[in-house]
Structure 1
């Protein structure tokens, strides 16, 4: 008798599952700890997807108003990120929240890390406190090649009082 009930329940579940159609989605399905979609760039290390602000993890870019000579490096970092994303779907693995309530995410577009891109192009720097040195090689290469802000005459206090050790 019990086996018959289990068989009927299983049959019912199969019928319900078969009746459901998979709907097409604009973005690929992702796990709960991920967020995917079209991103808008807030600044060089912050994006927004579906109204959620995401602080890109492990690196830093110049703050609003930062200048190296006549070059607004805050704006250059944001433009570099925007051009790289270029309407691609951005996928972020969300790891928590920062003190401002933004999600913290390791994000990629077209399979390439946004952090790695910005640091390797010289518009950001590795922040070992958060990255554990993940982008140190990219920063070193950008500095040596004088890419991005590393090729400009920047003030000593460009990064404020932050430490990058």
Structure 2
């Protein structure tokens, strides 16, 4: 078996003309500006102080606890409000109370630690919380007693497919329930992307 091929005409490469003095000065200037911005951002990041709280948790509802005097709203999730009802098998049931009970079971009397730097409109710390090795935020979504609210969409999809927790019946989204039962501003989602946006806005404010 033979192969035949022909050599095409060689392409000639002409050397690039040297950059003009003004172009080089512009490149150097942009480099200096970017470096200065990087230094300023690095200097301001320490102003975004992360708070860490730990201790015995008082469970308020399915997505909020109190540690000492610090009220904490669990970041990236949204559980039914304590007085909210959902529907299953043709009857209403107290899904808000069951969401709180789920969080109590997950904590299981263990010390809880939470960390975060953002606060919601009520002044509560938006926290990522753990009890031992249990990621409480994620576990509430996985158990079906909270919906994703900026994070944990994959965990929500798994819980929905398994029809656990509130997914076993029908329910009103906690945000919609709050809007219809309380005359309050809409709570924005507080997942990873929202956190990045808040960080940028905070850095601009600090400058």
Partner of 1:71: 93
Contact 2:111 2:132 in 1 (8 A): yes
Contact 1:121–1:148, Cα closer than 8 Å, also in 2: yes
* 2:57–2:65 CA contact under 8 A, matched in 1: yes
Which residue does the alignment assign to 1:47? 65
Q: TM-score, normalised by structure 2?
A: 0.57
Matches within 5 A, 1:1-165: 33-69=51-87, 70-128=92-150, 131=151, 135-155=152-172, 159-160=175-176
The question of whether the paired residues in 1 share the 8 Å contact of 2:50 and 2:117 is answered with: no
Gaps (5+ residues) in structure 1?
1-30
> Residue 19 of structure 2 corresponds to which residue in structure 1?
none
What is the Cα deviation at residue 101 of structure 1? Answer: 1.1
Distance of aligned partners of 1:36 and 1:153 in 2 relative to their CA distance in 1, 3 Å threshold: same
Which of 1 and 2 has greater Rg? 2
* Separation of aligned partners in 1, 2:112 and 2:74: 12
Could you say what secondary structure the match of 2:83 adopts? coil
SS at match of 1:122: coil
Provide the aligned C-alpha RMSD in A: 2.3
Structure 2: stretches of 5+ with no match in the other structure = 1-48, 180-185, 192-207
Q: How far off is 1:159 after superposition?
A: 4.1
More strand by share: 1
Q: How many residues align?
A: 129
